[in-house]
Amino acid sequence: MPLSPRFAEALAFAAALHAEQRRKLSGAPYVAHLLAVTATVLEHGADEDTAIAALLHDAIEDQGGPAARAEILRRFGPAVTAIVDGCTDSDAQPKPPWRERKEAYVARLRSAPPSVRLISAADKLHNARSILTAYRAHGDSLWQHFRGGRAGTLWYYRAVVDALKHSGPTPLVEELECTVKDLERL
Residues belonging to the active site: 61-62
The rounded radius of gyration (Å) of the Cα atoms in the chain is 16
Q: Which residues pair with 22 in a beta bridge?
A: 29
Which of 171-182 are b and which e, b meaning 16 or more Cβ less than 10 Å from the residue's Cβ?
ebbebbbebbee
Percent composition of the chain: helix, strand, coil (DSSP 3-state, to 5): 75, 0, 25
- Nearest one of 114, 107, 122, 131 to 58, comparing CA atoms: 122
